[in-house]
Structure 1
Amino acid sequence: MFLNGLKEKSITRKLKNKVANREYTPSGRPIRTLGILQEKGAPFEIKSRTALAKALGIKENDIEIFTYVAKLPKDQKEIEGMYALKSIGWNAALKTASLKAFVAKDFDVLLSYYTEDRLPLRLISGLSNAVFKVGLIKEEDGLHDLVITTGIGEEMVLINELEKYLRILKIL
């Protein structure tokens, strides 16, 4: 119990340092890839992915989704496209290859699709090498370049707002 608290503090410290040193630099190219970071209990609807891809002018297979789960099954330490708190070590060390690959990928846009403030979700959003980061939680405005306050399940509203603001910002 005590060690878990220290581990969380070391992860939080690493996240604060990463966010403090981040500056948005436009890529100058059209959007080609999108990453979605979501929680298993509240996933981005499959039907809405097609609308999102169409709104951004990309193919559906250019959208990569990574899901946070509370616990992975005991017999599996790594499931492709999923991670848990145990996939993250002290000082925010990423333990699985798929998690390292997701964070290292240079997405043109990362959509942090969650409304519950969970450290593992914030950490991956913060560590991501995405050019432009979009979130749903106002309190995380330092973590994201754009915050669109909508609820889970309101994907069409989110897509319309995202498209509108990306056009205003001349990213789309």
Structure 2
Amino acid sequence: MILKGFKEKSIKKQLNTFLNQPRDGFDNKKVESLGIILNADETIGFELLKSIGETINVRPNNIKVVAFTQESSEKTFSWNDCFNPKDFDWKGQIVNPEMDLFLKKEFDLLISYYTHDVLELKYMTAFSKAKLKVGVFESDPRLNDLIIKTNTKDVEIFKSELYKYLKVLNKLSNE
């Protein structure tokens, strides 16, 4: 119990320190790689989320999806990777090598598809090296560059709005 408190406090401290630093500027690179972070406890369809890549012309081999679940045993989904609170040590550091690789990959676009205020999800979003971050979570606007306010069950609405914004920002390839 005490270690859980240390872990939570450490993650919050790292998160606030990181989010208070200025981010790099905007670049004009087209979206060719896509990372998706989602909460498996609140998302309804993995295939619907993967179809976002098709909508914005990202090849399936350039899409990486990680799912978070509160349960300590990983759910048997078809996610690329799954993580939970036990993948963080008491100092708030990631101990799961797959999650560490996900954070180090420089995606052109990161989609944070969750609405619940979960510390581990916020950590993954904040520390991702993605060039453009889009999400539906709006409690902390410092996490994402663009927030599309939709219900997580309305994937089609999210896809159409994302497409519109990426088109305006000239981030779509083959356009």
Same-fold call, TM > 0.5? yes
- The alignment partner of 1:64 has SS state of strand
What does 1:12-161 correspond to in 2, within 5 Å?
12-43=12-43, 45-49=45-49, 51-73=51-73, 81-161=81-161
- Superposed CA offset, 1:17-46 (max 9, x none): 111224143333211111110111233634
Question: 1:47, CA displacement in angstroms?
Answer: 4.0
Tell me if structure 2 keeps the 8 A contact 1:39–1:67: yes
Structure having the larger proportion of residues in helix? 1
- Tell me, in whole angstroms, the C-alpha distance in 2 between the residues paired with 1:123 and 1:27: 23
CA change 1:143–1:162 in 2 (3 A) is: same
- Give the number of aligned pairs: 168
- Superposed CA offset, 1:58-105 (max 9, x none): 11232110011112339xxxx960111110123431101101001111
Using the TM superposition, name which of 114-123 and 160-169 deviates more: 160-169
CA RMSD of aligned residues (A): 2.0
CA change 1:140–1:128 in 2 (3 A) is: same
- Tell me, in whole angstroms, the C-alpha distance in 1 between the residues paired with 2:15 and 2:91: 9
- Tell me, in whole angstroms, the C-alpha distance in 1 between the residues paired with 2:44 and 2:168: 24
Percent of residue pairs bearing the same amino acid type: 27
Tell me if structure 2 keeps the 8 A contact 1:110–1:130: yes
- Tell me, in whole angstroms, the C-alpha distance in 2 between the residues paired with 1:7 and 1:51: 35
- The alignment partner of 2:48 has SS state of helix
TM-score normalised according to structure 2 size: 0.87
TM-score normalised according to structure 1 size: 0.88
Structure 2 alignment gaps of length 5 or more: none
Question: 1:54, CA displacement in angstroms?
Answer: 2.7
